[in-house]
Structure 1
């Protein structure tokens, strides 16, 4: 674990982006297509911590980006090459473009300056999406990863970020997966090898320090 001074340096507001992954109503909301995952995100406090991080990022001048997974009602362009995609296509709640299911879920507040990046394919918020070029245009060096799920999208996001040259910070109590005990095991045995692991309180403490520089 880095010291608070080292973490604060990594989390410099002008070069950091906070990414929320699939924190949408059809995934972690009350009418989720994946109720077990939604329950894990809420009961663990992960969703609440994502909301806290987003609110403080807004105050601290840290850019916030929301990665949303969706599909067209006709399924055009969507993946069908894995069991996960085929199962998702049969769920009673569909993540259809323009529907309530693909809106960012409460209690997370989306500000006008936030960027919302939507993808119609794949497993990763970064691969084949606008996230990487947007991060580069923003001058991002550190990507703070939050959301769901620790099973699939979170590790994909972290690996892709590291492969693209970003420093990844995973907020351990702001991600969730199923079963609940899988998340700390994934963090300890996999994500900690490639990313900085921090708690939401540690990240918030860094962003509440006096700002050294404002984003241009």
Structure 2
């Protein structure tokens, strides 16, 4: 496990927004898994503990303009998203963080209008480097697509990556375990939310 020095560590939540994992989600199966598994509560607890330990928290949000301008159409996923009853439109409730998560004053929010990863074509890498971050703790959804993309991009950019296995989710639930075992464990440090919470707990 990297040393998780607060000066060089950041916690990232990926697509933990109402339109993805909230009660009015465009992806109800994924939302149900994220909520029923306790993933959202663990991510919220990690964010709170990280702030208390002096670790920067960032939230990656996927959204699109009402006219879709600039959004990808080069994969079935993108075309299907444009037809869903709940759309991730900028400025709407769908792109706000889902409870129990909330944006604290010191948090940073990184929004993207295109692609599959919050690292590609956004401010995220520049923000992390300006903050002196070398280790990135990745949480959120989904283990099917966005989480692997985030981890691979971060590793390619030279970051140490830590993934708490019970603070990410995908569908079906078995997919998450397979992705961790066969892909993420090869490039990132796999841990649990509890282990991180113990590391970040205030000294008594």
Aligned: 1:68 with 2:50: no
TM-score by length of 1: 0.92
Q: Partner residue of 2:198? A: 205
Matched residue SS, 1:173: helix
Tell me what 1:106 maps to: 99
For 1:43-62, what aligned pairs fall within 5 Å after superposition? 43-62=36-55
Instruction: Write the deviation string for residues 133-161 of structure 1: whole angstroms up to 9, x where unpaired.
Output: 00000000100000000000000000000
Q: Who is 1:179 aligned against?
A: 172
How far the C-alpha of 1:109 sits from its partner, in A, is 2.3
Aligned counterparts, 1:37-186, within 5 A: 37-186=30-179
Is 1:34 the counterpart of 2:31 in the alignment? no
Give me the TM-score of the superposition, normalised by structure 2. 0.98
For structure 1, the 5+ residue unaligned runs are 1-5, 211-216
Equivalenced residues, count? 203
SS at match of 1:156: helix
Runs of 4 or more consecutive aligned structure 1 residues displaced over 2 Å after TM superposition = none
How far did 1:12 drift?
1.2
Residue 3 (structure 1) aligns with: none
The whole-number CA distance in structure 2 between the counterparts of 1:73 and 1:127 is 22
RMSD: 0.8
